[in-house]
Amino acid sequence: MALHTVIMAGGEGVRLRPLTQQCPKPLAPLCGDALMGYTLRLLRRHGIDQATATLWYRPQDVICRFGEGRHGVKLNYAIEDMPLGTAGSVKRASEGVKDTTLVLSGDGLTGCDLTSALRYHREKGAVATIVLTRVEIPLQYGVVVTQKDGRILRFVEKPDWSRVVGNLVNTGIYILEPEALQLIPSDRPYDFGRELFPRMLKEKLPLFGYEMQDYWCDVGEPAAFLRSQGELLMGACGFTPADTGRRILRDGYISFDSYVSPHAFVAEDAVIENSCILPGARVESGVRMKGSILCAGAYAGRGSVLQEGSVLGAGAQLGAFSRCESARLYAGVRLEPMQTVRGVIADNTQQPMLRGGEAQLCRPEEIIRLAGAFVQQQKCKSVALMHDTDAEASYALWLGAAASFGLQKIKMLGCGTPGMLAYALRNGTAEAGVWIGKEKAYLYGEAGTRLDDQQSTAVLFCARRCETPAVSAEKTEFARESVREQYLGWLEKEFPLRLPANAWLKGEASQLYDLTREALLRCGYHFKQNADTRLTVAGERIYVTDQRLPGGEDQRFLLCCGRLKKMLGEVYDTRHLGSMARDLKPCNEGEVCLKQRSVLEDPLFRALLLLDSIGSEREETPEIYRKEKVIPCAAEQKSRVLEALADAAEPCVYGGMQLMRNGGQAHITVDPVLPLLRISACACHAENAKELCDFCDDRIRSFLEEKEKNGRLSPSSLS
């Protein structure tokens, strides 16, 4: 079978920085050779002597390193003027090719039996075959679900924990027939995992997965880099390392899984465990290193300690008797003696905290870095900015930062509430928005909804690159607008008073309090202290108290949905109550669904929906009881548990797994940060909710106990 081979070598290696701060990821040094060098060795082992490398980031570095070829493989190069995506770059490198195409990554380490994979591809008659492997934590990969015969059923591209359904992942090694390449457009970026393979599934083309049993490591972050280094030195990868490095110190210790370049200086009493010391680095007397990397020219001062996860970039200096606690010092950073450092340090700046679209901000440099990451990640041309009463200084910083990062239009909406900003975005004011408080900010997408955890992680990760986004606009257009009157007019139109109504409003002076007061007056309410209906504004929430309203949050949500349904006709189950939600449409994360979620997240609109239901004819909302539990679960077991749960539960569109039983439903999700699984069961009776929650709890715990006892997981334990 004729074979055309493409090596994808355009990666930046962002997660590996500062190790890759001054070189592309395929050139990351691993035991005396570049990562891509081991890919060329693999090809030669299977009789492949010619390949084309696709390049984008710092292409000349790769060309200078490998020239016309290395390790018995002749190289051609396909250089991209702009990023074309994984599939787009392979398409360009394969123009005119009518043979089967083998695609590999030049920035990973694997001993994959390519000959066996090619034989499997031919036997199955596949149009495309994806080489798969199992990993403990699949968050950075594309998770794949297959039938017993290997035919692929489903993809979940780089999920967060809420969307993990197994631990069988895409290795980035593909075997493609010309029919697959013909599906890739030539005029725009295109991705294998997100676009080509889902399209092939939709068109029911033969797409198979080959589960390999050989070594594979993505080498995507420092911990994986060190793990692959150790396994390479121990012979677990199927390769002989190009260089084993220095192995002995007179009074110190170098562990068997560490690499110390012969061209680095290491004091004779240093202790080096599971670490990497590259040429030109210097380790002084008394240094203790574990799970750490010293790049070329880095310096660890006398008596310093580097704990697991620490990386010193090229020329970075850690002062004497300092502690580096899982910190990354970028190139050229110099720290004085007797310092303790954590996190990412580039020009001595720190990073903001961001989760669920909410950013905690303290320092001006955090705001600037986050603004750049938000603009770059959202890929938007216009952003709307709004601020709280006491956040004028932070607002000014956001304005300047957003303009400096190349936005074409900035809408300055002045002072207001998050609900006002969401309303403006729903009505097309801008493509994205930021509401700015004194010590926090809310980041919104185009539909007026806050960024979810996965989107927030992408923005935060972009901020940690410690790079300035490319500026694309020659001039930024500023427009000053006010949406207060439009917002209040919308509320007045949606909630005309049907009967004379009294209410009492209390709370501290704030934008939301003033807005709520004016909205109630416009809707015809009178303020009386002895009124049965009371509203309390606290922070960014509005609490409505009235004996005629149900007490549970789920019931109030259904009540609000009932009122909203009369306005819109169709309403989505954005609280994910499933069968409890009766006539609501299942949440599908589409544009209309997202806009409805944005409306229901507005505390003032939600309060007015509740007020509108008081004294009006309405359907009775069912009693809904919830029972919740958390189960400790190590990160490396999370994906396996979810994969096994697939036999008893179904994946949810909005993430996690859903289990139906005895008229109730349970939602099992994974905490994205903590080593926990979360169970939330709801039913129309308290006993049913408890029974369902306990059922899931028992099955998951017995499953984990079986794994601990037998060292393996069995899906049958959950059936």
Per-residue model confidence as pLDDT tens digits over 223-263: 999 999 999 999 888 888 989 988 888 889 999 999 999 98
Angle, alpha carbons 636-640-641 (nearest 5°): 105
Neighbours of 492 (CB within 10 A): 17
User: CATH number of the domain at 3-217, out of 3.90.600.10, 3.90.550.10, 3.40.50.620, 3.40.50.1820?
Assistant: 3.90.550.10
Strands 69-70 and 73-79: antiparallel
Spatial distance between the Cα atoms of 659 and 665, rounded to a whole number of angstroms: 6
Q: Which of 119, 140, 48, 112 is nearest to 635 (CA)?
A: 140
Question: Which stretches of 594-641 are assigned E, i.e. beta strand?
Answer: 625-632
Q: How confident is the model at residue 215 (pLDDT cuts 50, 70, 90)?
A: very high
Spatial distance between the Cα atoms of 138 and 169, rounded to a whole number of angstroms: 7
- The per-residue pLDDT for 636 is 73
Give the CA count within 13 Å in the CB-facing half-sphere of 640. 21
Q: Is the peptide bond before 59 cis (omega within 30 degrees of 0)?
A: no
Q: Which of 634, 18, 14, 618 is nearest to 314 (CA)?
A: 18
Write down the pTM of the prediction.
Answer: 0.57
- The per-residue pLDDT for 348 is 45
Q: What is the CATH class of 353-482?
A: alpha beta
Q: What is the largest CA-CA distance in the chain?
A: 91
pLDDT, tens digit, for every residue of 13-26?
888 888 888 888 99
Spatial distance between the Cα atoms of 666 and 689, rounded to a whole number of angstroms: 8
User: Is domain 245-345 in CATH 2.160.10.10, yes or no?
Assistant: yes
Looking at residues 462-485, what average pLDDT do you find? 71
What is the token pair recorded at 277?
């010391």
Neighbours of 194 (CB within 10 A): 16
Is 698 in a helix, a strand, or coil?
helix
Q: Which of 498, 257, 467, 510 is nearest to 368 (CA)?
A: 467
Domain chopping of the chain, boundaries: 3-217, 245-345, 353-482, 495-552+561-587+607-613, 625-718
Spatial distance between the Cα atoms of 20 and 39, rounded to a whole number of angstroms: 18
Q: Which of 345, 340, 339, 346 is nearest to 325 (CA)?
A: 340
pLDDT, tens digit, for every residue of 103-159?
998 888 999 999 999 999 999 999 999 999 888 776 666 778 888 888 888 877 655
Q: Which of 279, 324, 325, 328 is nearest to 300 (CA)?
A: 324
Please report where in the chains the tokens 């060292």 appear, as a residue: 711
Spatial distance between the Cα atoms of 100 and 525, rounded to a whole number of angstroms: 73
Q: What is the DSSP letter of 26?
A: G
Is 716 in a helix, a strand, or coil?
helix
pLDDT, tens digit, for every residue of 170-213?
898 999 999 999 999 887 888 888 889 989 988 899 999 999 99
Q: Which stretches of 192-331 are DSSP H helices?
A: 197-202, 222-233
> How long is the chain?
719
- H or E element that contains 382: strand 382-387
The CATH architecture one would assign to domain 625-718 is 2-Layer Sandwich (3.30)
Looking at residues 386-410, what average pLDDT do you find? 85
Q: Which stretches of 345-475 are DSSP H helices?
A: 364-378, 392-404, 418-426, 453-463
Name the average pLDDT for the chain: 83
- The per-residue pLDDT for 466 is 56
- Which residues in 143-163 are b (16+ Cβ under 10 Å) and which e? bbbbeeebebeebbbbbbbbb
353-482 has the same fold as 3-217: no
Spatial distance between the Cα atoms of 86 and 650, rounded to a whole number of angstroms: 30
Neighbours of 350 (CB within 10 A): 15
